[in-house]
Amino acid sequence: MIGHISFGVSDVPASQAFYDAVMPALGWVRLWTDPAGLGYGPPGGGEKLNLFAVHEPGVTLAAGPRFHLAFDAPDRDAVHAFHDAAVAHGGASYGPPGPREHYGPTYYAAFVRDPDGHKLEIVHQ
Global pTM value: 0.89
pLDDT of residue 16: 93
Instruction: Spell out the domains of the chain, with CATH numbers in brackets.
Output: 6-57+67-124 (3.10.180.10)
pLDDT, averaged per 10 consecutive residues of the chain (125 residues), comes to 79 91 94 84 73 69 76 97 97 97 97 92 97
Name the nearest CA neighbour of 124 among 55, 105, 115. Answer: 105
pLDDT of residue 83: 98
Would you say how long the chain is, in residues? 125
